[in-house]
Chain A
């Protein structure tokens, strides 16, 4: 099993959710995130004083998938989250040792 973490532009959240659902992924964790990469931040001006705001708002989406589904899910996320402009975000994958559904105690793939 793998944990896929995707950092995307906030306005892409709905598209990514739809794409994941079409791949048969029916659960995910979404959180608001802020950070910066090559995009850096932006500047704001208050009464003529300029402030650099480093952190840009993003959305973090986390999904657990079977090893076999990993690549198709990754492709689906990247395909819809991409605008081609700087600041589109990042997606990464990590191995997961165990998953347990709290309600039933099921373990492994059947808990996904």
Chain B
């Protein structure tokens, strides 16, 4: 079947960019935990790539993007194993791409969204429980929300995109608010880390965090501009808006720190860039560059404040999935209701502050509430069931020892040498070694 080669090239490129976000997230999160669980933290991201890919091929894509089953909440089982996707095309007239390009692009979204949850359960989830959680969560929470937000079928598809007239360009609902609300439920069900609010839990490697943030920022161009699904003018608007919001939010986050804590921090500048990218995710294709500037500035400041809520309310959302993705997503979704502009995208109507009515803002708010309620309740249920069936959490001794050695029999760094890697580094036999591959 004929397809548009330029759009296809763009979508393939963006797919690779978005997949890179998950290893980027592994670095971003890995640097923030203590050195005894950095590998476990990164393992959660990498294992998610495997589990979600298998599910996406087997039934995930079909359930998320197959023909709507009636209420705009879920697709169907008509394309198990991607049999129909193979050899077909998808997309707006003139912008068709091979369906498999769209399948893979959406797969990378499912992967990185699921991997985000690891930030809420850092240092203390059993690895088997994590794998079970990934499989259940992507099936029962991500797939329905992806259907609602992204599955357009000309008015009879997903609840948000086709039936409620919600604007969500790249996943403020299905990706950001979803992961934030789910992270809150997970943090509550699994409980606080031993020593939360008492022991120092300093990030063990802030340069890793910055490297991860850089990769996320880079990958986000594919995430947002790729969501145009074609190499169009709107894709370019989304691209530059992503840059603007991330850059401004990095500064507004450290401005808050400077005033509140006395110093601007590198962890803050990295966190701010991510918060800005989160907030512009739903809004990137709908606002002007100046609108993106405003959304980024607000997101950086609001999220810098929101990450303090966990101490006030006593939930251990260890790496601030709620404060950055949940709150940032809300900022972006409401930002559309206020700042959406027909000058950025002529397929939509203006937001409240751009001369439009309050109608769009109300629809955006409704989508926020539905997403947060569905994600929170569903994830709470899934986490509770997994906890009852196989146990969610490491035992205290294992948690204190560290998930790296307990769950993976590895350690990230060799600190054994007295002077650098000096003592005994020339000898294979300085520590006992035996072959175990027989």
Chain A: minimal CB distance from B417 (Å): 14
Q: When chains A and B are docked, how far (Å) is the Cα of A51 from the Cα of B311? A: 14
Pair B257/A45 contact, Cβ less than 8 Å: yes
Pair B265/A46 contact, Cβ less than 8 Å: yes
Q: When chains A and B are docked, how far (Å) is the Cα of A53 from the Cα of B308? A: 21
Is B263 positioned at the interface, with any CB of A under 8 Å from its CB? yes
Is B200 positioned at the interface, with any CB of A under 8 Å from its CB? yes
By CB atoms of chain B within 10 A, which of A46, A47, A50, A53 has the most?
Answer: A47
Residues 250-272 of B at the A interface (beta carbon under 8 Å): 257, 260-263, 265, 267-268, 271
Number of residues from A at the complex interface, CB < 8 A: 10
For A46, list chain B residues within 8 Å (CB). 202-203, 265, 267
Is B44 positioned at the interface, with any CB of A under 8 Å from its CB? no
Which of B200, B262, B311 contacts A53 (CB under 8 A)?
B200
Q: Which size class do B's interface residues fall under? A: 10 to 19
Which of A44, A47, A50, A51 contacts B268 (CB under 8 A)?
A47
Q: How many A-B residue pairs have CB under 8 A?
A: 27
Which of B200, B263, B320 contacts A47 (CB under 8 A)?
B320
Is B307 positioned at the interface, with any CB of A under 8 Å from its CB? yes
A interface secondary structure, majority: strand
Pair A45/B265 contact, Cβ less than 8 Å: yes
Is B304 positioned at the interface, with any CB of A under 8 Å from its CB? yes
What is the chain B residue whose CB lies nearest that of A32? B419
- 1/0 per residue A50-78: CB within 8 Å of B? 11110000000000000000000000000
- 1/0 per residue A29-59: CB within 8 Å of B? 0000000000000001111111111000000
Q: When chains A and B are docked, how far (Å) is the Cα of A56 from the Cα of B93? A: 66
Pair A51/B202 contact, Cβ less than 8 Å: yes
Q: When chains A and B are docked, how far (Å) is the Cα of A51 from the Cα of B265? A: 14
Chain A: minimal CB distance from B270 (Å): 10
Chain B: minimal CB distance from A50 (Å): 8
Pair A51/B271 contact, Cβ less than 8 Å: no
By CB atoms of chain B within 10 A, which of A46, A51, A53 has the most?
Answer: A46
Q: When chains A and B are docked, how far (Å) is the Cα of A50 from the Cα of B261? A: 9
What is the chain B residue whose CB lies nearest that of A31? B419
Pair B307/A47 contact, Cβ less than 8 Å: yes
Q: When chains A and B are docked, how far (Å) is the Cα of A47 from the Cα of B304? A: 7
Pair A48/B257 contact, Cβ less than 8 Å: yes
- 1/0 per residue B200-227: CB within 8 Å of A? 1011000000000000000000000000
By CB atoms of chain A within 10 A, which of B200, B257, B268, B320 has the most?
Answer: B200
For B311, list chain A residues within 8 Å (CB). 49
Q: When chains A and B are docked, how far (Å) is the Cα of A44 from the Cα of B268? A: 13
Pair A45/B200 contact, Cβ less than 8 Å: no
The 4 closest A-B pairs by CB, nearest first: A51-B200, A45-B261, A48-B308, A47-B307
Which residues in B have some Cβ–Cβ distance to A below 8 Å?
200, 202-203, 257, 260-263, 265, 267-268, 271, 304, 307-308, 311, 320
Which residues in A have some Cβ–Cβ distance to B below 8 Å?
44-53
Provide a sorted-by-A list of 14 A–B residue pairs whose CB atoms are within 8 angstroms.
Answer: A44-B202, A45-B263, A45-B265, A46-B203, A47-B267, A47-B271, A47-B320, A48-B257, A48-B260, A48-B304, A50-B261, A51-B202, A52-B200, A53-B200
